[in-house]
């Protein structure tokens, strides 16, 4: 009788608790394994996302790259880089062999002449535009004009248009010369990059070509 009281028979609550504890441990291990797998999947997903982001970033970087020459300006694109570096300072202007260097007074004189020419050309363009506007009004009101009057008005209008176009071109060249003077490339040929020559620049402050390149250009036309 004491032996039966001291032993727990199979199927008793004590046995069920033992089995329940084992099951709880197994379930906990299973959940931990599942959580570990989930973490692994998340980590893998993050890595894949990072890879996709890197790929996208790489594509964007490649597309954003500038092609060679895009940073070059129109005024200095034809001047070799070595010569641009040599004339980096505005006061250090190019001269031909045997010519004296530009002095500060000569540079100031060239700048003042170009600025004065700019103002003159702007005034001339404004005057030409006003004349053209008047000629256009006259052509509209001249219904009773004879052929000679109509022809004269047409010739005058075409002449004013040619003058205005020439003044605009000269103004553009003058403004470009001022830009080159500020950049230190004033006096360099835009075609070959050689010095135009101090004497030529003083005679023609808007010159952009050396004598040789100018002659070649005139022969082509």
pLDDT at residue 91 in the model:
55
Query: Hey, what CATH class is 81-220 in?
Result: mainly alpha
pLDDT at residue 145 in the model:
62
Domain boundaries, the chain: 81-220
pLDDT at residue 4 in the model:
44
pLDDT at residue 12 in the model:
44
pLDDT at residue 144 in the model:
55
Backbone angles phi, psi at 188, to 5 degrees: -100, 135
pTM for the model stands at: 0.54
pLDDT at residue 154 in the model:
80
Q: What is the pLDDT along the chain (221 residues), one digit of tens a residue?
A: 344 444 444 444 444 444 444 444 554 444 544 444 444 444 444 444 544 544 444 434 434 444 444 333 344 444 444 344 444 454 588 899 999 999 999 999 999 999 999 999 999 999 988 888 888 887 666 555 666 667 787 888 888 899 999 999 999 999 999 999 999 999 999 999 999 999 999 999 999 999 999 999 999 87
């Amino acid at each position: 009788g004491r032996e039966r009281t001291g032993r727990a028979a199979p199927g008793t609550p004590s046995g069920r608790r033992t089995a329940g504890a084992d099951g709880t441990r197994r379930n906990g291990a299973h959940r931990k394994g599942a959580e570990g797998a989930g973490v692994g999947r998340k980590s893998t997903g993050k890595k894949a996302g990072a890879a996709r982001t890197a790929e996208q970033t790489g594509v964007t970087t490649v597309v954003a790259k500038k092609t060679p020459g895009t940073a070059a300006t129109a005024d200095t694109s034809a001047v070799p880089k070595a010569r641009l570096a040599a004339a980096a300072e505005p006061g250090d202007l190019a001269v031909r062999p045997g010519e004296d260097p530009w002095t500060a007074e000569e540079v100031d004189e060239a700048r003042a002449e170009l600025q004065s020419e700019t103002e003159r050309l702007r005034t001339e363009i404004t005057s030409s535009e006003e004349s053209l506007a008047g000629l256009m009004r006259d052509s509209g009101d001249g219904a009773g004009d004879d052929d000679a009057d109509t022809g004269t008005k047409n010739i005058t209008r075409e002449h004013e248009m040619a003058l205005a176009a020439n003044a605009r071109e000269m103004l553009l060249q003058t403004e470009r010369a001022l830009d080159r003077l500020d950049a230190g490339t004033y006096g360099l040929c835009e075609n070959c990059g050689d010095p135009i020559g101090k004497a030529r620049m003083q005679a023609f402050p808007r010159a952009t070509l050396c004598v040789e390149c100018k002659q070649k250009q005139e022969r082509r036309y």
